[in-house]
C-alpha cells in the first residue's frame, strides 16, 4: 500500500490528501509519532550541525519508507534539505506543498484587518 509520510508540522487537509491520492496514487497518510513530531516542529536554532539530531528521523524512515512512497518534507531549511537527500537515498519521492495566498481586507472597529488565506495548489517534487 503506497503512502505519504509527513515530515511536516501540520496535518494534511482533505484537499491535500485527495491531491496526493490522484497525483501519486497514495492510499494512506502516515504522521510522525508524537515525540518525533514535537522534535520536527522545534528544531533547535542553537545546534551547529543537525546530523545527530536528524538520526532519529533517518531511523524512522528506514523503518517506515517503502520504495516509491511519497514523503512530504517541509520545515527547518537545513533539516528539510538533509531529509530530502535521505528520502531519495531510501527510494522515496520527496515533495513539498505549494499554496496560493488570498488576502482579504476588512474594516473592523475603524481598523483595517488583513487576513491571509492559504489554499493548496499542488505538490511539487524536489528537484
For the chain, give the percent of residues with pLDDT over 70: 100
Contacts of 56 (CB under 8 A, 6+ apart): 36, 39
Q: Where are the domains of the chain?
A: 3-125
Task: For 77-109, write each residue's pLDDT tens digit.
Answer: 999 999 999 999 999 999 999 999 999 899 989
- Edge-first strand order for the sheet with 3-7 is 28-31, 3-7, 70-73, 93-108, 111-125
Strand ranges in 12-110 using DSSP code E only, listed in sequence order: 28-31, 70-73, 93-108
Read off the pTM: 0.89
Q: Which set of grid coordinates corresponds to residue 46?
A: 542553537
Which H/E stretch holds residue 112? Answer: strand 111-125
pLDDT confidence of 12, banded at 50, 70, 90?
Answer: very high
Amino acid at each position: 500500500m503506497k503512502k505519504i509520510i509527513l515530515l511536516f508540522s501540520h496535518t494534511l487537509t482533505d484537499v491535500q490528501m485527495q491531491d496526493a491520492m490522484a497525483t501519486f496514487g497514495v492510499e494512506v497518510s502516515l504522521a510522525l509519532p508524537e515525540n518525533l513530531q514535537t522534535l520536527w516542529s522545534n528544531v533547535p536554532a542553537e545546534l551547529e550541525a543537525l546530523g545527530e539530531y536528524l538520526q532519529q528521523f533517518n531511523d524512522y524512515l528506514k523503518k517506515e519508507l517503502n520504495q516509491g512512497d511519497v514523503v512530504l518534507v517541509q520545515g527547518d531549511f537545513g533539516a528539510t534539505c538533509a531529509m530530502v537527500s535521505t528520502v531519495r537515498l531510501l527510494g522515496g519521492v520527496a515533495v513539498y506543498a505549494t499554496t496560493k495566498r488570498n488576502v482579504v481586507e476588512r474594516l473592523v472597529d475603524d481598523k483595517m484587518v488583513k487576513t491571509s488565506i492559504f489554499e493548496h495548489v499542488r505538490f511539487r517534487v524536489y528537484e
